[in-house]
Amino acid sequence: MSEKEKELHRILTASQTGTIVCRIAATLGISAYEAFCRFIMSKTYANFRQPGSILSMCGDPAIVEEFLNETQLNK
């Protein structure tokens, strides 16, 4: 992956993060801040931000579902 492609990936995933966080907050009934904190500390987020990962190519609902599955496994 070229440097230009990596930079584009960083920009796109950063902007997508806000939408994902809002969906998580609404689903769990928590604040956007709490959802943001939980999401950025998750394995799902780490995978999502990895250039070329399958998760980085998924839509918001799939990423939220992955995050919810991950957090349910940790309980």
Taking a C-beta distance cutoff of 8 angstroms, is the pair 56, 9 a contact? Answer: yes
What would the pLDDT profile of 15-33 be if each residue is shown by its tens digit? Answer: 789 999 999 999 999 999 9
Q: How confident is the model at residue 74 (pLDDT cuts 50, 70, 90)?
A: low
Q: How confident is the model at residue 36 (pLDDT cuts 50, 70, 90)?
A: very high
Distance CA 70, CA 41 (A): 12
- Tell whether the model's pLDDT for residue 7 goes beyond 70: yes
Q: How confident is the model at residue 75 (pLDDT cuts 50, 70, 90)?
A: low
Max Cα separation, the chain?
A: 40
Q: What is the DSSP string of 45-71?
A: HHHHTSTT-SGGGS-HHHHHHHHHHHH
Q: What is the DSSP string of 25-52?
A: HHHHT--HHHHHHHHHTSHHHHHHTSTT
- Tell whether the model's pLDDT for residue 4 goes beyond 60: yes
